[in-house]
Amino acid sequence: MENTYQNTTSCCEDQDLYDISEHPMHSIAWLATVPLTLSIIIAVTIVGNAMVIAAYFRDKRIRNNVANLLILNLAITDFVVGAFIISIDTAWIIKDVWTYGEVFCKIWLDVDFVVTMMSLLTMVLISWDRYCLLTMGMRYKTFQTKKRICVILTISWTVVTLIYTFLAFGWSPITGEYNVDYSQNCEMEFTYNVAATLVINIFEFFIPFTILIILNIAVYSNIKRRSNGTVGQSPSIHASARSPKRSFGPGSPKRVNYHPPDGPSGPVAVSPRRGGDAVEANATSESTDNRADGENSLTRQLSNERDSTSKKEGRTFARHRKAAFVLAILIGCFLLCWLPYQVTSVMYAVCDTDCVSTRLWEVTNLLLWCNSTINPFIYAATNVHFRRNFRKFLLLDRWACDFKNCKLKCQNANQIQVATGSLNDSTVT
């Protein structure tokens, strides 16, 4: 009886030790920082992308731009990442064990891979749209339509969803590989296969990223060539502005010089012409003034046209440079967020948790999802229409108006006080 009690006690102690080792209790500092940080990331991701979506449907000027349909699609994918993907992952991190079962795990992973892949493809499409805008010129409006973009996005969503749904639900039955214990963990089965991980990473990251780099280099090169062309055309414009000073048209007045003939009459023959010379001199002076006024007017007209053309071209190229700068920021953030995950995923497939700790795997996944948190701030900082709507959503315009009104009221009060003081001083005097 005593031996039975000791065996039962030892079994319970072993079970307790197993539970503690498998599911360690988090410290108070960890509970105070990690869940709070994740909650802030979730809130910023949801609110930021929700404002992008609301701005698109609220502002007609944003909807009129065909390219903003791609931004809307990117905001939708990022919103799903914040509202569904990171939220479920946060609950998993806090519990330190997966408790939602196999079916929900596969659905969650399927949505995760689909929206993150669509986010990447949308960035590629944004770069392609910018390249078409620069190279097609006037043909862009007839080529890039909302119908074409909707068809492209529909095909992309369909293909990506089918691929990752097959990988989530069909990989194990086809290959016979069952490596995930869904009562404890939630991962795609193919993540334990090195060859499959490498192939998927190539199609999921390296090929799209290479296309992004090529398109943005082409955009920068096109902008640079067009900017140099604008600078090169300036001398011809200046030359055309100076040309009236060197040549005149058929209708321009000509200088008439009178040379009195030499004859036997000498000075006596010249004297009757003095009045005519004065009249002719006055007429010549008036024609010279008219010609000078005409030249000045033409010069001013050409100068104004040159200035307006230069300003228009300057605004155009500044807009293109700004768009290229936005794309560069998007690519930089994308590389920063995606590359660590790609490296650790290969390491995880090779040696599992022996070379990739659980915390490192969680951090790289979270960093990948944080790309969805950054995108709305890029739009707000670079697109004037989105920025204006964001200011209205956050009531910044109202606060600015209240501040200005308060400032004006203070200035008016000070002016009244000064005027009243001056009036009192004058009354006393």
Q: Tell me if residue 429 falls in helix, strand or coil.
A: coil
Answer whether 81's CB lies under 8 Å from 120's CB: no
Answer whether 98's CB lies under 8 Å from 105's CB: yes
Q: Which two tokens stand for residue 410?
A: 């203070």
To the nearest 10 degrees (0 to 180), the angle between helices 396-428 and 384-393 is: 70
Residue ranges of the domains in the chain? 28-231+309-395
Q: How far is CA 132 from CA 61, 74, 156, 161, in A?
A: 21, 19, 19, 27
DSSP conformation class of 395: T
Distance CA 104, CA 263 (A): 120
Q: Which two tokens stand for residue 275?
A: 């009045």
What's the confidence (pLDDT) of residue 245? Answer: 44
Distance CA 88, CA 214 (A): 36
Q: Which two tokens stand for residue 212?
A: 């992004």
Distance CA 371, CA 375 (A): 7
Q: What is the phi/psi pair of residue 226, to 5°?
A: -70, -35
Quote the distance between the C-alpha of residue 50 and its chain's center.
16
Answer whether 201's CB lies under 8 Å from 342's CB: yes
374-410 residues labelled b (16+ CB within 10 A) or e (exposed): bbbeebbebbebbebbbebeeeeeeeeeeeeeeeeee
What's the confidence (pLDDT) of residue 375? Answer: 86
DSSP conformation class of 83: I
Task: Determine the Cα angle at 369 with ends 364 and 370, to 5°.
Answer: 95
Phi/psi region, residue 293 (left: phi>0; alpha: psi -120 to 50; beta: rest), is: alpha
Q: What is the largest CA-CA distance in the chain?
A: 164
What's the confidence (pLDDT) of residue 411? Answer: 58
Answer whether 47's CB lies under 8 Å from 372's CB: no
Distance CA 191, CA 179 (A): 9
Residue in the structure block whose two tokens are 């009236």: 244
Distance CA 211, CA 163 (A): 21
Report the chain's mean pLDDT, rounded to a whole number: 76
Residue in the structure block whose two tokens are 């005027």: 419
Distance CA 403, CA 146 (A): 42
Structure confidence by residue, pLDDT tens digits, 28-48: 888 788 889 999 999 999 999
Total Cβ atoms within 10 A of residue 167: 19
pTM over 0.85: no
227-261 residues labelled b (16+ CB within 10 A) or e (exposed): beeeeeeeeebeeebeebeeeeeeeeeeeeeeeee
What's the confidence (pLDDT) of residue 406? Answer: 57
Structure confidence by residue, pLDDT tens digits, 107-137: 999 999 999 999 999 989 988 998 998 888 8
What's the confidence (pLDDT) of residue 22? Answer: 47
Distance CA 277, CA 282 (A): 9
Work out the percent of the chain whose per-residue pLDDT is above 90: 34
What's the confidence (pLDDT) of residue 329? Answer: 80
Structure confidence by residue, pLDDT tens digits, 154-188: 999 999 999 999 999 999 999 888 889 998 899 99
Can you list the residues of the chain whose pLDDT is less than 70? 1-26, 227-296, 298, 301-302, 305-314, 316, 319-320, 323-324, 327, 353, 399-429
Distance CA 366, CA 373 (A): 11
Distance CA 380, CA 375 (A): 9
Q: What is the phi/psi pair of residue 143, to 5°?
A: -85, -50
CATH architecture of 28-231+309-395: Up-down Bundle (1.20)
360 Cβ neighbours under 8 A, 6+ residues apart: 344
